[in-house]
Amino acid sequence: MTKKLYDTDYVLFNPITEDIARFSKSSTGLYKDSKYDPNGDIVLYWDKDEATQDALEGDIVTRCTDLPQKYQDEIIEQLGKY
């Protein structure tokens, strides 16, 4: 089955640094201090309000379909793992 992204799926994206929020590999949850762990899975939100509550300064709640293509491809690959 081919995975696809929907415009109702959200992530936290920092457009200045082009970082995207990820789960830390050393935690079961999101570390606020190191949420850009390059080895962690991207945190996906299906509720825009929840994403907004988790956002830190500089983060914007972004639709997955509005991300740079490299992140869209990575999310699709990540979804294929589960």
Domain ranges of the chain: 10-80
Spatial distance between the Cα atoms of 77 and 82, rounded to a whole number of angstroms: 10
Which residues 6+ apart lie within 8 Å of 1 measured at CB?
none
* Model confidence, pTM: 0.79
pLDDT of the chain along its 82 residues, tens only?
Answer: 667 899 999 999 999 988 899 887 655 554 444 566 677 889 999 999 999 999 988 999 999 999 999 999 999 999 988 7
